[in-house]
Amino acid sequence: MARVPTSTYRVQFHKDFTFDDAIAIVDYLRALGISHFYASPYLQAAPGSMHGYDVVDHRRVNEEVGGEEGHERFCSALKDAGLGQVLDIVPNHMSLARQNKYWWDVLENGTNSRYASFFDVDWNSPEERLRDKVLVPILGDQYGRVLKSGDIRIVRMGASFTVMVYDQELPVAPQTLAPLLSRAADYARSDMLNFLAASFARLPQAEFWDRRLILARHRDRNVLLKLLERLCAEEDNVCQAIDRTVKEFNANADDLDAFLAAQNYRLAFWKAADQQLGYRRFFDVNTLIGLRVEREHVFDETHALIIKWLKAGVLDGVRIDHPDGLRDPKQYFERLRSYAPDAWIVGEKILEPGEWMRSEWPIEGTSGYDFLNLMLGTLIDSDGLKSWVSITAYLLAIRRRSPPSRTTRRSPWGRKRWAAMSTGSPTSSCASANRTASTATSRARSAAAWCVRWLRASRCIARMSFRTARKSSKKIASGSRARFSARRIIGKMWTRPCLTSCARF
């Protein structure tokens, strides 16, 4: 039976802090009294990832942090030290890096892909040119300009063809090789190459729900590529003819445009992402695509290794990243719980003011952001908010009173406005701001007092002198001295936690 953590220590794995580095601190963590090692995501992530949330393969341990062998040594060290392990996992999204074989297959085969159902893609776009296509907004300029500049080109490596955009590699749909190979067959006068070109064009088209036809198409595609590879190895003139045709396509913007238009993706200027992106992403990060983990086969594929570790006792629990991004969080937690009934499961659920954790979710709770926010309220001097608001209001008033342009001052309405601004005072703005600050500060004080009572009731002694806001006894002067004083005072205040504390209550 899995152990319930009493205290955890989170460690961030990356290429500069591997499993072996973690093994070196295991004894130290045990001496601290830690019950569980809380690990950042360490499934295979995009190359160079410093956080691990951009997973590309859920069935492998990240090679950059030690791989499978390093993971076994790490888990053995934790077991010998009597420490448990909690792992941070990412069910909501995946990285679009080249190493993501699922996404590469989708770009290559579109709706005919074996993994088209894995991702949250809108294949029925209202725009005809995006229907059954994926928008790939990676261009540094408008498509036509980039095309003419030569930054988009077709590249052949053996029997494999790719589209290179700058230094980024994209796949080529098998059926779109037909016109290219057909022209090359005419140059090489090869009946075999002509047959392969016609065969690529006749590959069946299937929908993502027709699993049998999709697998048959995938089989036929692999056979044709092997035949093409054998032909290129046996007849050198065929390779030369294909390379000649590829060179002609790259040199002719119309031929290259027609070739690209037939792909299962549409290249676009990066600014087009906000208006035309056809897949669910993680917040506004284009390179992280949403997973349809509510589908059982997607869940099984992406959680096989995690469930194996939970059942074997390698993991005592998991922390679920961003459950709010899931289509049905309750269904997800119930399914995960059915595979690991004794696991300690928490969700990274950010509770809004007045929101409570959903009791129907079969998990132990949140990852603690809500409690941490309450705790911070006891460590922050909320009086600093008054000074912050007063200074901000004063600086805004100075900005509003900046002189208009000479042309504006010459107009009749401009003279009146400038005269009013010249004689005005920021006093009213500061007074209003101070009233707002007073109300917010009162609420923050109430929250802080509540936290203190709660801590005392729990027999927790917290004697911390951590004043982060200082009152200035000097009045703020005008001009540059005022700005200097404001910067000096603001520099001595931790305003963001102060504002957060007041906003919460």
Query: Which of 38, 89, 36, 44 is closest to 323 using CA atoms?
Result: 89
Residues 106-119: tens digit of each pLDDT: 999 999 999 999 99
Decide if pLDDT at 232 tops 50.
Answer: yes
470 neighbors 498 (Cβ within 8 angstroms): no
* pLDDT classification of 399: cutoffs 50, 70, 90: low
Q: What is the pLDDT of residue 252?
A: 95
pLDDT digits (tens, 9 = 90+) for 20-79: 999 999 999 999 999 999 999 999 999 999 999 999 999 999 999 999 999 999 999 999
pLDDT for the residue 378: 81
Number of other CB atoms surrounding residue 44 within 10 Å: 24
- For residue 385, what pLDDT band results from cuts at 50, 70 and 90? confident
Nearest-angstrom CA–CA distance, 371 and 322? 17
Position 317 pLDDT exceeds 70: yes
Structure confidence at residue 350 (pLDDT): 85
Q: How far apart are CA 103 and CA 109, in angstroms?
A: 10
pLDDT at position 35, please?
96
Which run of H or E residues covers position 236? helix 236-251
Give the separation between CA 98 and CA 170, rounded to whole angstroms.
Answer: 8
pLDDT band at 400, cuts 50/70/90? low
The arithmetic mean of pLDDT across residues 129-148, rounded, is 93
Is the predicted pLDDT of residue 386 greater than 80, yes or no? Answer: no
Residues 256-311 pLDDT 10s = 999 999 999 999 999 999 888 999 999 889 999 999 999 999 999 999 999 999 99
Q: What is the pLDDT of residues 172-191, one digit of tens each?
A: 999 999 999 999 999 999 99
Q: What does each C-alpha distance from 327 to 12, 91, 213, 285, 331 come to in angstroms?
A: 28, 11, 28, 18, 9
| Summary mean pLDDT of the chain | 82
Segment 431-482, tens digit of pLDDT: 444 444 454 445 444 544 444 444 444 433 333 333 333 333 333 333 434 3
Q: Classify residue 241 as exposed, middle or buried by CB count within 10 Å of its CB (0-12, 13-18, 19+).
A: buried
Stretch 113-142: mean pLDDT? 92
pLDDT at residue 382, as a whole number: 74
- Most confident segment among 325-329, 366-370, 499-503: 325-329
Distance CA 51, CA 70 (A): 18
CATH numbers and ranges of domains, the chain? 8-92+293-367 (3.20.20.80), 101-285 (3.30.1590.10), 373-504 (no CATH)
Provide the pLDDT for residue 457.
41
Q: Residue 498 above 80 pLDDT?
A: no
Q: What local confidence, expressed as pLDDT, does residue 334 receive?
A: 97
